[in-house]
Amino acid sequence: MMTNSPETDGKSPAANTATIKKTNARELAKLGLTTTLGVLVVTGFSSRSATARKLHVLAGGALLGLSLWHSMLYQPKKRSPKKEGENK
């Protein structure tokens, strides 16, 4: 028996698994963004050492990549084109 709880919304188990995976990916992206931003702040204040500079640049690149990934996770689903004669 399938209940309409907020987690399931009456969807099939496969659809629920996809939703859970997307939610986990979103959480992972947010965690990565937070971590890299923290590294950027810390290495920004200690930029006199060569190691801190390299880590700062790497964290900046990671932040850009994670930002792109994060924005792609929130893109709406593509709709199928409407056939002729369908109502709007």
Q: Could you state, in order of their start, the residue ranges of all structural domains in the chain?
A: 20-73
Q: What is the pLDDT of residues 29-56, one digit of tens each?
A: 999 999 999 999 999 998 788 999 999 9
Nearest Cα neighbor of 63 from 88, 85, 30, 86 is 30
Is the pTM above the cut of 0.85? no
Q: What is the spatial distance between Cα 43 and Cα 20, in angstroms, rounded to a whole number? A: 34
